[in-house]
A and B are shown apart, each in its own frame.
Chain A
């Protein structure tokens, strides 16, 4: 296996930037959540890459990744429930229209 570590890190950085771009530019709250999932995946990919190249004998980094995946799943559950609650209230999932707290 001859793939340099920096290739994986670059891929992860690209995925993170793409996710960030989606989270900041789209109006639909569901797409914002999907973009956040992409960012989560980029971060977890980094964990696994460093596990592979540096701590291959240890099981701890994989545990970190497993816990991160599970917590991301919990986050998306609650986030989508919030989106549905907001939709019931405003009849829309447009993040630009959710500004009741704006001063």
Chain B
């Protein structure tokens, strides 16, 4: 179990680092997919199977394809190697991220969190339990979420079509 944790963690962090450092946008996206797969594997390790499958379906199946469409729509040549794409004063951003990372790590090192928490044996992400909860106890937030997703879909179409509507 420990070996699996280390292997998956290294793959996840490597995917994330490559996703923000590579120059080719499509390569960045592929590294991001590796990172998402690693996180899904972590969910399986933590026995949250439903979340793991949802992660693969939503992030890799939907969000990654969406980003790929955005890359294809905003670049003339998808395989183009762009110039160095760091923003002005990038070192300020990098040092801010470093400081916040060190702060987070400092918070994690507190005794409450480093104490040996027992792994919950009851932790079971059973799909049947989650399905029943979604349509009984959580039905109102669930429907609200459906409305939110519909609104986001319509909003995205409206925003992306704005120029075309104006030209008519």
Contact = CB atoms under 8 A, between A and B. Distances in A.
A77 B66 CA distance: 7
Nearest to B93: A24
Interface residues on A, range: 35 or more
Interface centre among A11, A21, A82, by most chain B C-beta atoms within 10 angstroms, is A21
A95 B87 contact: yes
Interface residues on B, range: 35 or more
Interface of A is mostly: helix
Interface in B126-168: 129-130, 133-134, 138, 141, 145, 148-149, 151-153, 155-157, 159-160, 162-163
Interface of B is mostly: helix
A49 to B, nearest CB: 7
B50 A52 contact: no
Contacts of B7: none
Interface of B: 1-2, 5, 9, 12-13, 16-17, 19-21, 25, 28-29, 32, 35-36, 39, 42-43, 46-48, 50-51, 54-55, 58-59, 62-63, 66-67, 69-71, 73-74, 82, 85-88, 90, 92-94, 96-98, 100-101, 104-105, 107-109, 113-114, 116-125, 129-130, 133-134, 138, 141, 145, 148-149, 151-153, 155-157, 159-160, 162-163
